[in-house]
């Protein structure tokens, strides 16, 4: 075990886990903001650059297949920092038009025995205008992020899911505000923590929402920036196929599989992430890949802790991967360790590129 891993797992993590998870998360984010002067040192240690890992997707350069999932830096507090830990891309948000506090605290819970988290955050964020200003400041200060930026879009909590005109306006407002900064957009209709949000995965509302967003994107630039749909792991297989069919008919550019699950068992209510989510998220990736013939990018998310976990999702049809829970449990070297493991397995199987695992 490398010294960084040892220090995190034996010293730092036990201390961190003594405190409330959300409080600890905010404290760590604050510390990282002060760590910007040592970013080159961190980057030299944690980052692995190898052409066998790089891909061009949607006309964007991804230095490796691993990104930071939405919710970790939802307010874009550190947009120019995540590449120092090896992430090739990161997803901010979920963003709503206006600031909102989210659900009452406590709303984030650890389950170390399961290597899992449960959250019921409720789209707490600073609102699209404040986040856009923050990204403007980052661009002016340091030339902007060096990793690809994904922006997750959601509706205001008090916008009724059955008022589609207001729902569409919510998504479009954030899209327009953050358009200059996004490499790609994510339509989040699958969080379990906003009342009735998942109703938008049904065929009728989903078709109207995606069509409206694709039309708005087309009016903003040419070619339009890519739009991805994030699906719930709690959809049945037939419902996944139906959602994919609707998305394809609307000209969707990619998928994220999956969001968190509300199947929490005896744990707190909310969205469960981490190892228990791994099997179902991989199944959903496989369903989407078969439905699309492997022609559209899929970002696999859910329970990726080891190189074997990552390859399982790549073999199921994922083009890219996202981490959240394993970053919390495994620490700052998780991307480096995963990429090293992927490269070692590529060597053993005589593969020349990470995309060779796709079915």
- Yes or no: say if 121 and 61 are a contact pair by the CB < 8 Å rule: no
Distance in angstroms (rounded) separating the CA atoms of residues 298 and 292: 10
156-189 core/surface letters (b: 16 or more CB in 10 A; e: else): bbebebeebeebbebbbbbbbbbbebbbbbbbbb
Q: Which two tokens stand for residue 323?
A: 């981490």
DSSP H or E segment with residue 40: helix 39-46
Greatest Cα pair distance in the chain = 54
| Lookup: tokens for 306 | 């080891």
Whether 199 contacts 205, CB under 8 Å: yes
Q: Of 276, 242, 236, 282, give the one whose Cα is nearest residue 258.
A: 282
Buried b (16+ CB within 10 A) or exposed e, 280-297: bbbbbbbbbbebbeeebb
**The two structure tokens encoding residue 311:** 């390859």
- How is residue 112 written in tokens? 């170390």
Question: What is the bridge-based pairing of β-strands 60-62 and 66-68?
Answer: unpaired
Closest CA to 245 of 204, 276, 277: 204
Q: How far apart are CA 259 and CA 93, in angstroms?
A: 13
Catalytic residue among 191, 232, 281, 326: 191
Count of beta carbons in the 10 Å neighbourhood of residue 209: 25
Strands 227-231 and 184-188: parallel
Contacts of 176 (CB under 8 A, 6+ apart): 216, 220
Where in 13-155 does DSSP place strands (E)?
A: 55-57, 60-62, 66-68, 89-95, 108-111, 116-119, 148-153
Residues constituting the chain: 359
Residue 191 annotated as catalytic: yes
Under 8 Å between Cβ of 335 and 87: yes
Catalytic center residues: 191
């Amino acid at each position: 075990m490398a010294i960084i891993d040892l220090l995190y797992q034996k010293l730092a993590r036990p201390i961190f886990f003594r405190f409330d998870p959300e409080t600890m998360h905010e404290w760590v984010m604050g510390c990282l903001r002060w760590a910007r002067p040592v970013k080159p040192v961190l980057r030299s240690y944690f980052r692995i650059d190898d052409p066998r890992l790089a891909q061009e997707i949607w006309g964007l350069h991804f230095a490796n297949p691993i990104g930071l999932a939405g919710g970790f830096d939802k307010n874009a507090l550190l947009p120019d920092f995540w590449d120092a830990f090896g992430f090739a891309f990161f997803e901010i948000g979920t963003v709503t038009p206006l600031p909102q506090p989210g659900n009452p605290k406590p709303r984030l819970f650890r389950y170390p025995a399961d290597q899992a988290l449960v959250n019921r955050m409720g789209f707490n964020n600073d609102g699209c205008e404040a986040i856009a200003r923050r990204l403007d400041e980052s661009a002016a200060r340091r030339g902007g992020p060096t990793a690809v930026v994904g922006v997750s879009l959601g509706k205001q909590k008090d916008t009724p899911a059955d008022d589609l005109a207001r729902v569409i306006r919510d998504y479009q407002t954030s899209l327009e505000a953050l358009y200059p900064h996004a490499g790609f957009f994510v339509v989040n209709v699958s969080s379990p923590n906003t009342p009735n949000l998942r109703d938008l995965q049904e065929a009728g509302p989903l078709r109207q929402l995606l069509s409206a967003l694709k039309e708005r994107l087309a009016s903003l630039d040419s070619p339009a920036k890519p739009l991805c749909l994030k699906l719930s792991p709690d959809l049945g297989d037939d419902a996944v196929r139906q959602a994919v069919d609707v998305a394809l008919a609307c000209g969707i550019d990619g998928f994220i599989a999956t969001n968190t699950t509300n199947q929490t068992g005896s744990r707190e209510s909310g969205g469960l992430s981490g190892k228990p989510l791994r099997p179902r998220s991989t199944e959903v990736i496989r369903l989407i890949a078969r439905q699309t013939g492997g022609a559209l990018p899929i970002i696999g998310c859910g329970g990726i802790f080891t190189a074997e976990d990552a390859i399982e999702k790549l073999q199921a049809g994922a083009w890219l991967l996202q981490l959240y829970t394993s970053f919390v449990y495994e620490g700052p070297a998780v991307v480096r360790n995963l990429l090293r493991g992927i490269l070692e397995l590529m060597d053993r199987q005589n593969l020349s590129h990470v995309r060779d695992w796709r079915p």
